[in-house]
Amino acid sequence: MGVSYMIRAGSREQCAERLAELCRLLGAVPTLRPTDCIGPGWVARATALQADTESADR
């Protein structure tokens, strides 16, 4: 199982900006675009690329 990250924000725009920033900085890929259907606020998720998690384990 790979590493996943979650972002929770107060607005769709803020959530999308932070998702893009996280993906750029960590080389992750979005797995859930910003949505307000999961609990309070806006949520997005990203997963680390498989190659990144393998190199971190070495």
Cβ neighbours of residue 18 closer than 8 Å, sequence gap 6 or more: 7, 9, 44
pLDDT at 50: 67
pLDDT at 52: 46
pLDDT in tens, the chain (58 residues): 689 999 999 999 999 999 999 999 999 999 999 999 988 899 999 999 865 445 455 4
Is 13 within a domain? yes
pTM above 0.75, yes or no: yes
* Angle, vertex CA 19, rays to CA 17 and CA 24, nearest 5: 95
Instruction: Give the range of the structural domain holding residue 8, as residue numbers without chain letter.
Output: 4-52
Is 15 within a domain? yes
The tally of domains found in the chain comes to: 1
